[in-house]
Amino acid sequence: MHLDASEHDESKSPDGTPWWELSIQPGTQKKRFGQERRLAAWLWFKKNVGETFTMRELRAALGPDIAETSEHLNRRLRELRKCDWVIPSQRDDATLARDEYRLEAKGGRLWIDSERAKYERFAPSDRIRRFVMDRDGSRCKVCGAGVDEEYPGEPGKKVRLTIGHLVPQERLRSRDARDDMDNWRVECSRCNETVRDEVPDPERYDEVMAGLKRLTRDEAGQLLNWMRKGERPRSKVDQAYDRARKLPQADRTALLEHLAKRIGEAS
């Protein structure tokens, strides 16, 4: 059938590129067109509900400018769940092959600005974001990692911070809830993952236990508290260190001398 030129093909952006192949946001010079948007568009137009797809198929469809790893794309896929997409993987359904996903329900059409806005409604305001960052000392409340630090034992993996909510997003139904400072805390991007137990290499009970044996009773008590709260507060020493290392060089030298004297070290 001939498609009338005036008839708009919804799978294509204004310049005629399919939404999932778009790397730059239409109407902008270099603003990247987000991967969630591309994933959503491809799934919406190319897959029927009930169909399966693989990571390999997805990468091929999105084209060569997707340089990210499968792990990264996997995370973008999981983020679609926040926008009502239901996409089980092998973790959720053992009948699926490794690297295979099934489209169970289509969600928000994120490549359309107005649709996308619906899902962003409950993001914290800039004012809240700044307040919470300052209040929490620009550190992840869950694991204690600070901005631009490296994760322990993982050289080169820089910590990125974000603002997470304690009451899940779906239950925030008013602006008041969105602006309630107590409902927000600083989290690193890793602790902020939608499904927190979906890490590539989960820890094993016996290995964790082996590490626990070396803890003193006090340390075990501290760990118990952190586990119960799901937060790792920074101790007074931690906080002092955070601030002290931001001192100018001369002040740092003076502080070192003061501390050495204070603990009775001979100079």
Q: Which stretch binds Zn ion (CB under 5 A): 2-10, 39-47, 94-102, 185-193?
A: 185-193
186 binds Zn ion (CB under 5 A): no
Cβ 143 to Zn ion, closest distance in Å?
3
What's the closest the beta carbon of residue 154 comes to Zn ion, in angstroms?
12
Q: Give 17-75 as a 3 state SS string.
A: CEHHHCCECCCCCCCECCHHHHHHHHHHHHCCCCCEEEHHHHHHHHCCCCCCCHHHHHH
Q: Does 188 bind Zn ion (CB under 5 A)?
A: yes
Taking the complex as a whole, the smallest distance from the CB of residue 167 to Zn ion amounts, in Å, to 19
| 73 vs 113: CA distance, rounded Å | 21
d(CA 201, CA 189): 17
Should residue 77 be labelled a site residue for Zn ion when binding is judged by CB under 5 A? no
Least Å distance, CB 158 to Zn ion, is 12
Pick the closer one to Zn ion by CB: 82 or 190.
190
Question: Going residue by residue from 84 to 123, which x/- string records binding to Zn ion, judged by CB under 5 A?
Answer: ----------------------------------------
Please state, in angstroms and rounded to a whole number, the distance separating the CA atoms of residues 227 and 168.
19
Task: Give how many residues touch Zn ion by CB under 5 A.
Answer: 6
What's the min distance (Å) between Cβ of 141 and Zn ion? 8
Nearest Cα residue to 190 out of 223, 226, 151: 151
**What separation in angstroms does the CA of 231 have from each of 203, 213, 218?**
18, 22, 17
- The mark string for 120-149 relative to Zn ion (x by CB under 5 A, - otherwise) is --------------------x-xx-x----
Torsion of CA 31, 178, 186, 107, to 10 degrees: -50
User: How far is 67 from 81, CA to CA, in rounded Å?
Assistant: 23
Q: Would you say 72 or 157 has its CB closer to Zn ion?
A: 157
Nearer to Zn ion, 11 or 189 (CB): 189
Check residue 22 for interaction with Zn ion (CB under 5 A). no
Amino acid at 3: L
What the block records as the tokens of 112 is 């359309």
Instruction: Examine residue 161 and tell whether it contacts Zn ion (CB under 5 A).
Output: no
- The correct pick among 39, 40, 186, 191 for binding Zn ion (CB under 5 A) is 191
Helix, strand, coil percentages for the chain (3-state, nearest 5): 40, 10, 50
CB of 150 to Zn ion, least distance (A): 13
Q: Which is nearer to Zn ion, 43 or 142 (CB)?
A: 142
Contacting residues toward Zn ion, per CB under 5 A = 140, 142-143, 145, 188, 191
